[in-house]
Every structure is written in structure tokens, then in C-alpha cells.
Amino acid sequence: MRILLGEIEVAGYSKGLAAGLIEKGHQVYSLSNNTHPFGYQDNLISSQPKLISRFCAVMKQLNNPSQLSSFRFFILRFKKNFYGTIVLFWSLFVCDTYIFNFGVTLLPRQIDLLVLKVFRKTTIVNIGFGSDLRLPFINGTYLTSEDSHLPANENYIVSKVIEAKVKRIEKWAAVIVSCVNNCHLLSRPFLDFTHIGIPVLLPDENIKRESVDNDFDSLNILHAPSNSFSKGTETIERVINRLIEDGHNIRYVKMQGVANTEVMKHLAQCDLVVDQLYSDTPMATFASEASAVGVPCIVGGIGWGQLSKYFRKGINETTILIHPDELEEKLLECISSGREKLHERGLKAKSFVEANWNAATVSDYYLRIANNEIEEAEYFDPSKVIYSYGMGLNEGALKSNLKAIYEEYGEEGFVTKHQGQIRAFKKLIGV
């Protein structure tokens, strides 16, 4: 196959997928060479056409809009759309399959998807990463603290913008990959992101766990948040500091704003990762990377009760899923059980990732999609999925957001058309 892969890099997803597809012998033209804040760059493809390289060069500059003047930003957007049009025209003669991540395609308003549909190209659009689809009032990444909030009118406006994008993608894309935890705006059946997996590039021999002793001289904990508020960093550190004050020998390391390569090196030296407290994904990118090294990972969330029925078989045996209020209890349990037990849990997670969430296996799934080999039973009906708790918010902040938008707009404020989901939101706020 000749595959155009683009255009946004999200935590190494495009890099891993490109590696898997190339390993299978397919030609990949990657547009995902944008500079990533944690060093996830797709450096796997060195001999791309000059046209692709020019497109990527513009993308790299656009990736730092805060450093650009309004005029410079306008010019770069024009150049990006110009090169995008040329890339689209060129690809019609070269490529047969298109994979777009984060709901971002070559041209504004996803109009290129219509062109590709007319030319009978296979288009796979992945809008399962999170903020590309998640409703803003259940998305903690929009906030910076517990006291901050997105006004009801802004919540509604942003939700309607996302809804419009989703409608265009659903109308023109051949296949949609999304996630059961943020499919509120979808109407078409979709393939679940977590069932497909994350294309993890398995670590080399330089990144491996050292031999373990059962007795702790100290419990080495790593936390590496991309967003301190949405990951619950303040609460995590408060719990850990309280345990240290109580006499427990804990060595806590926080790594933030550093390259992923540095984090990976440190993983081999820790006993446990505390990923986040308010997740809606049993094993996101960092948790999967920790698992690939054989380090057990705690992932907190307030909605596992709703989500667990949709989990892929075996994934609940990888990461340690807890309610945020259970963090202290779980850390004490880890201390009392000993390093050997933690190591055993890490090996289970490692086995799962090596067998299921690796670049080769995930790329195989995308090839099945492209070849129209997916069974109907593998698709999810979004109207039958109920998930109310979002990501990155404690329950108090979540309910506050839901109440504010309901008081301002009523049921219309939730934007979703799924009546079961609307009832679940209303139940959560007692109306």
C-alpha cells in the first residue's frame, strides 16, 4: 500500500504507526513531522518528496503560534493550505490509503475528505485521542486550577464547533476510529481506539529494569504529567508527602517539560508510576510506555464503573485502576506487598503491551481496516455508550460545569443527541 499519514503527532502515535507500516513493507508518506513538546518526532522517514518536506517545515513553524506575530501566522496558514492543496493533488496519483490523526486533515473544514471520497480513496480518520472530540465541559485540559472554569457560553460554542467538525468527518470519511469515553457527538458506528491499541515502539536493550529485591530500601515513584491540573499532580504529591511524613521511605521523582527520551531512561530505575488521577483511559501513552518497560502504573479515574464494560479483554490486568480517593490506600498496599509483587505486576503489563499494543500489531489492525476486513461486531454504536465523567476533572468540578451549562441552555447545552447520555448527565447533577 501507499499510505499518506498525517498530520498531527500525538505522543508518538504517528511515529509508532509509521514504523509498523514500514516494517510490513508499505510505503508511508508521513506528514506528522511537527515538533512535539516532549520530543515525539517522526524521524523514521528520511527520503520523502520535497513537497512533503516543505509542508512539514510549515507545520513545524505553525506548531508554536505563541511565538508568531499575527501577520506571520496568517502567512504560514496560507502556505500550509497552499501546500496542502498541492499535496492532496499529488497524492491522488500516488496514494491509495489515507490515515488522519486528531481529526486534522490537509485542508480547512476537512474538505479534502470529500475530494478523496469522490476519488474512491480509503480514508481512516482517528478522532479518539481526547481533546479532538471530548466535550469541553467534561475536559479538564481546558482548565488550569480547581478555581478556574470555562464559562457556559464558551463551553457551548466550543462544543458546537467540535460537533460541526464531527459531522463533516462522519459524512465523508470511510472509517472512523474513536473512543468509547468521548464518543458523545458521534452518530456513526466507530472502531474503538483502545481496542486497536497504541503503536508502542518497544524499548531497546538500553532501557530495561534492573534486578529486583523483595525488600524495599525505598519505594521509587515516578510521576511525569503533561498537565499538572488535569493529571491531579497536586493531590498526588499531597498524598505522597503525607506518607513520607508518616515515616514511609519513598523516593518521589516528578519529571515535567522534559524530552520523552529522558523520561524513558528514568523509567528503568523506578518501582512504580503514578500516571494520573482523573483519567478515562485504562492505559494511555505514558502508562503504555511504562508497561513496555515492565513498570506497574497506577491510573486513577472517577468513572471506571461506567467504562469497564467496554474494556478490551485483559487490559484491566495491566495498569492498576483506582478511584482518586484510593491512592493512599493503594500506595500503602504496594509498600507492604514488596518490590517482587510490583515487579510481577509490571511483567504482566509488559506481556500485554508486547503482544497487543506494539507498532507491528496496531499497524496490522489499520491494514485490516484499509482492506475492509473488519467484522461488524468490532464496531461500537455511540448511541448505546454511556459515559458521564470525562477526564481531568474531580467530581466537584465536573458537576459544577454540568450544572452551569444546564442552567444556561438546558438539555441543548449538552450538545449530544443521545438521550441515554443526556439522562446520565442530568442524573449526575440531580435533575
pTM here is 0.88
pLDDT at res. 208: 53
> Residue 66: in which H helix or E strand, if any?
none
| Nearest of 404, 333, 362 to residue 149 by alpha carbon | 404
pLDDT at res. 148: 62
pLDDT at res. 40: 43
Residue 89 shares a structural domain with residue 114: yes
* Mean pLDDT along residues 325-344: 90
pLDDT at 93 over 80: yes
Residue 158 shares a structural domain with residue 173: yes
Residue 168 shares a structural domain with residue 246: no
Please report whether residue 69 resides in a domain. Answer: yes
pLDDT at res. 259: 80
Cis peptide before 329 (omega within 30 of 0): no
Residue 370 shares a structural domain with residue 331: no
Q: For residues 305, 300, 227 and 339, what is the CA-based torsion angle, rounded to 10 degrees?
A: -150
Task: Give the domain extent around 6.
Answer: 2-200+362-380
Three-class secondary structure assignment of 343-411: HHHHHHHHHHHHHCCCHHHHHHHHHHHHCCCCCHHHEECHHHCCCCCCECCCHHHHHHHHHHHHHHHHH
Block residue for cell numbers 524513558: 264
CATH number at residue 286: 3.40.50.2000
pLDDT at 39 over 80: no
pLDDT at 255 over 80: yes
Distance CA 64, CA 51 (A): 21
pLDDT at res. 206: 47
Residue 156 is placed in which grid cell? 457551548
Residue 157: alpha-carbon gap to chain centroid: 23
Residue 105 is placed in which grid cell? 486533515
Please report whether residue 131 resides in a domain. Answer: yes
Give the residue from 325, 357, 389 where a domain finishes: 357
Please report whether residue 173 resides in a domain. Answer: yes
**What is the overall mean pLDDT for the chain?**
88
Segment 130-170, tens digit of pLDDT: 778 999 999 988 776 666 677 899 999 999 999 999 999 99
Three-state DSSP class for residue 57? helix
> Residue 101: in which H helix or E strand, if any?
strand 97-101
DSSP per residue over 143-193, as a string? Answer: -SSTT----HHHHHHHHHHHHHHHHHHHHH-SEEEE-GGG-TT--S-EEEH
CATH number at residue 27: 3.40.50
Q: For residues 176, 180, 185 and 190, what is the CA-based torsion angle, rounded to 10 degrees?
A: 20
pLDDT at 217 over 80: no
Residue 235 shares a structural domain with residue 156: no
Q: How many domains does the chain have?
A: 2
| Nearest of 359, 333, 342, 40 to residue 209 by alpha carbon | 342
Segment 289-327, tens digit of pLDDT: 899 899 999 999 999 999 989 988 878 778 999 999 999
What Cα–Cα distance (Å) separates residue 369 from each residue in 13, 19, 106, 217, 325?
A: 17, 17, 21, 49, 40
Residues 6+ apart with CB under 8 A from 59: 7, 31, 33, 34, 80
pLDDT at 213 over 80: no
pLDDT at 416 over 90: yes
Residue 173 shares a structural domain with residue 224: no
pLDDT at 211 over 80: no
Distance CA 235, CA 132 (A): 27
Block residue for cell numbers 501577520: 71
Segment 384-404, tens digit of pLDDT: 999 999 998 888 889 999 999
The one-letter amino acid at 206: N
pLDDT at 221 over 90: yes
Please report whether residue 127 resides in a domain. Answer: yes
Distance CA 107, CA 104 (A): 8
Residue 168: CB atoms within 10 A of its CB come to 17
Q: Residue 187: which pLDDT band, with cuts at 50, 70 and 90?
A: very high
Task: Output the CA angle 351-271-392, nearest 5 degrees.
Answer: 85
pLDDT at 216 over 90: no
Segment 345-372, tens digit of pLDDT: 999 999 999 999 999 999 999 999 999 9
DSSP per residue over 254-278, as a string? Answer: E--SS-HHHHHHHHTT-SEEEEESS
Distance CA 14, CA 56 (A): 14
Q: Is 177 in contact with 196 (CB distance < 8 Å)?
A: yes
Q: Is 275 in contact with 299 (CB distance < 8 Å)?
A: yes
Three-state DSSP class for residue 110? helix
